[in-house]
Every structure is written in C-alpha cells, then in structure tokens.
Amino acid sequence: MIKMAPQELELPGAQPTEPELLTMKSLAQPEQRTTTRVQRGRDLYTEHADEIRFEHGTWLIPSQSDLTSVYEVVLGRRGESCECRDFEFRGESCKHILAATIAHAKTATCSGCLLRVLHRDLTEVTEDHESLTWFVGDLLCPECIRSHGGIA
C-alpha cells in the first residue's frame, strides 16, 4: 500500500498529526524516531482497539489511512512480521506490530471460545466454582459464562 500524504487523508476530528518538518527532523535522531513510532502504535491501538481482531494466530490491525483494509500482523517467538511497507523496507517494528503487541498484552485467550478477550473482562475459575466443564485457572469471557448459566 502506498501512502503518499497521510496528513491529507486525516478525517475531520482526527488527532492532529505533527508537521512533516518535525517528522523529517526526527528521522535523523533514532531515539526520537523510536519514541514517535511507539507513540503511533499506541495511538493506533487507542483509536481502533474495538476493531482489532485475532484470528488463526494472526492479528488484524486496521489501517489508519485506509479504513477498509487491515494489515496482518504475526507476533511470535520466531519474530514478528507485518504486511506494510514500513516493515518490509525497514525491517523494524512498525506501528501495526506495536499496536498488536499492546493488544496481545491486554488480552488473554478465553478457555471457552478461544477468542482473545481483554484481561478485565475475563474471570478466572477458582476452586469455589463447582463445575465439571472448567478447570481451576481457566479464564472465561462473559459470553461463555452466560452461555453456561454462570460459574459461581
């Protein structure tokens, strides 16, 4: 995907981006550049957390410049990868990978439906929950708890 002038593609009401001049300047200073990239990953996560999906081991991260497309991001012990040009040409963590990393850190896999769910929405099964369906330590999302009539 080619991104010629991201500033012009900003939707009304979107966060103002820093002037191009500043971006060019920070390119010359690696530490600042990293900070900017991390910040962009955070912004991407904050703005699109609801649209981020995890399917078959792949994170689907929405594109900020083209709201109809997603980038497939893979995180893993063997390294991380993204489909975007940033990653392809620079070979370093792009904002999509950073957003996926944040999403990964904030979620865990539900033992019932195996979807990635926010930590705060998961309930851990303890010994107090008498059930033949779940094991102690299992994490359950609200949907799974509801569909089994609760776990308490």
Terminal CA-CA length for the chain: 50
CB of 46 to Zn ion, least distance (A): 17
Binding flags for Zn ion, 43-62, as an x/- string (CB under 5 A): --------------------
Q: Which of 44, 75, 141, 145 binds Zn ion (CB under 5 A)?
A: 141
CB of 22 to Zn ion, least distance (A): 21
Binding flags for Zn ion, 71-110, as an x/- string (CB under 5 A): -----------x-x--x------x-x-------------x
Structure-token match 């299992």, residue found: 138
Structure-token match 């769910």, residue found: 117
- Please answer whether residues 77 and 84 qualify as being in contact, where contact means their C-beta atoms are separated by less than 8 angstroms: no
Q: Residue 13 or residue 141: which is nearer to Zn ion going by CB?
A: 141
- The C-alpha atoms of residue 11 and residue 149 are separated, in whole angstroms, by 44
Torsion-angle region of 90 (φ positive above 0: left; ψ -120 to 50: alpha; else: beta) = alpha
CB of 141 to Zn ion, least distance (A): 3
DSSP structural state of residue 83: S
The count of residues in the chain is 152
Interface residues with Zn ion (CB under 5 A) are 82, 84, 87, 94, 96, 110, 112-113, 141, 144
